[in-house]
Chains A and B, each alone.
Chain A
């Protein structure tokens, strides 16, 4: 039996390989992307066929966020959109990547949402907080706690998948949850009287959203990636230009299936970076004002929380040269 299963897999895989090798000469760059405004923005370039104009073949694959990182880790993608922190996590567990574009930093979309009556982070002392442990909003929570003079030991963490946080807050079992949009917004909508008590706007640069490319692909096809960077800044201009902003929002909203008006609020919590801003964050430095500094802080957080065992060489994960060359 074992043999026939394997044979079937073999046959399927063989057929795919045959198909793949036939296309190998013109294999497009494969990029996995998912539901976050800074990445949904790529949809503008796809819809407008700007990659074709730029002379680079790119195939974007739409994923659930976690599934996209899994597919990248399995070697099925040339690049994936993720946060700088998740790039380190994915790298520590096997699939190294290099961040070549900083799309945005989260500017309010990531939130700690307090139940009714919970007015500030300090109110959380001794109470339960629902958050997906090891993910970016866990980091956001710790950052907020530290500012309130508290530590993780002062609260009781409940591990909740991010997309279930609205229901968990509604259940009344926790005093707060940590989540990003659209989940954080849904929690606010679902639980009347709840409010954001700490958001990524309180610590800009805590969470950067990037395009992370496999080192092999970057080294072999650097010219094509250069063109991808060019297209990205065409997208940024299109979104930031008041003339074309509405059209960009329409395209982005249709990707995730909500109305443009609703989507506008998610974009507002996402600081899409201009070329000049992005260049600043590619400069080596300490603290949240630099991708290097921010990633270093995330690395320490990941180590402290046993997300992985060995400190990551943060510098090896960052290559600003394509952005800086523009």
Chain B
């Protein structure tokens, strides 16, 4: 085992090595971020003013480009007035890891100050509800339709040309329309998630259905299976594991529409938090919120993968 090479084409590494690398894939970017944030010589193109000196527009805490700071300092030096002082700093859009970590914590622990305001976890809950409903409605129609289209050419011909056309229409383009038809609250947001997911879903599912081994169908028909039997006893069991994987990927797809969907109608959910904090340049909160979305997405997927291994134990050998 110790002599196993790290790079062998299409050969799986030992489990402990795989785990190490998986952890490293998170640690490395974090390390780069720490280096850029905490080691002043690497980047730090700005100066955070600590003492404005005689420069009229400097204020303590203000971020100034290094050249500007130097130029102003020379100007003041020439006049013999008080010199400004400051520390090297990064631009406002690159907060340090600890600032983001703190923002993440305080965002959850900050009590709402007004009667009708929500806690952050409640806003996140709203966002998750929108995603879940949009994806559920899409799946309720899209999965059966995709299976039928993948099984019967007539269903495919009748639907897929139009779906191919429709999937190119960007979901956000329907924003104003969705508000006019469905009102200003959750319904138009759910509709945007639906439009963003559904058309891809039908095509992906029908494609997966088509990949079923034809010899399975032939064998079943030889044994006398008829239409519904064929569909429910052969086709669906035959694709169910791949279908499950498709749905996991499509759920991730649905998440990418969240921000667009929540821009429509009333401000709500995690998007409200992100846009509002960005408007006031509280970027550590913006990063915190983006990371939260990532964590929720990844952990949902891990849970689903684990569930998948329970539900379809025969797939364990080849499960991804």
Contact = CB atoms under 8 A, between A and B. Distances in A.
Interface of A: 1-2, 4-5, 8-9, 12-13, 16, 32, 35, 43, 46-47, 49, 61-64, 67, 70-71, 74-77, 116, 163, 166, 182-183, 186, 189-190, 192-193, 195, 250-251, 254-258, 262
B187 A12 contact: yes
Contacts of A13: 181-182, 187
A195 B267 CA distance: 32
The 10 nearest A-B residue pairs measured at CB: A254-B113, A74-B180, A192-B64, A1-B159, A61-B266, A76-B184, A71-B184, A62-B267, A47-B114, A74-B179
Contacts of A5: 198
Contacts of B145: 1, 4
A71 B145 CA distance: 33
B200 interface: no
Given A4-B141, A76-B180, 17 more contacts: A1-B163, A2-B162, A12-B182, A13-B182, A13-B187, A43-B114, A49-B115, A63-B265, A67-B266, A67-B267, A71-B179, A74-B180, A76-B179, A76-B183, A189-B62, A192-B58, A192-B64
Interface string B163-205: 1001000000000100111111001001100100010001000
A64 B183 CA distance: 15
Contacts of A43: 114
B281 interface: yes
Given A1-B145, A9-B181, A62-B267, A182 B163 contact: no
Interface in B241-275: 263-267, 272-273, 275
Given A189-B62, A189-B281, A46 B115 contact: yes
B57 A190 contact: no
B278 to A, nearest CB: 8
Contacts of B296: none
Contacts of A4: 141, 145
A16 B176 contact: no
Given A1-B162, A192-B64, A71 B114 contact: no
A64 B163 CA distance: 32
A76 B63 CA distance: 43
A141 to B, nearest CB: 22
B162 to A, nearest CB: 5
Given A12-B187, A61-B266, A251-B114, A257 B276 contact: yes
A257 B184 contact: no
A8 B184 contact: no
Nearest to B149: A1
Contact of B265 (A67, A192, A195): A67
B191 to A, nearest CB: 7
Contacts of B267: 62-64, 67
B64 A257 contact: no
Contact of B114 (A70, A75, A255): A255
A75 B113 contact: no
B57 A192 contact: yes
B280 A257 contact: yes
B277 interface: yes
Nearest to A185: B280
B65 interface: yes
Nearest to A2: B162
Contact of A116 (B68, B190, B263): B68
B10 interface: no
B116 interface: yes
B277 A257 contact: yes
A9 B182 contact: yes
Contacts of B180: 74-76
B78 to A, nearest CB: 17
B319 interface: no
Contacts of A182: 279-280
Given A16-B183, A63-B265, A254 B57 contact: no
Contacts of B92: 190
A62 B266 contact: yes
Contacts of B277: 257
A169 to B, nearest CB: 13
5 contacts: A1-B145, A35-B276, A76-B184, A183-B279, A195-B57
A254 B116 contact: no
Contacts of B62: 189, 192
B279 A77 contact: no
Interface string B53-81: 00001100011110011001000000000
Given A46-B116, A192-B57, A186 B183 contact: no
Contacts of A70: 176, 179
Contacts of B117: 254-255
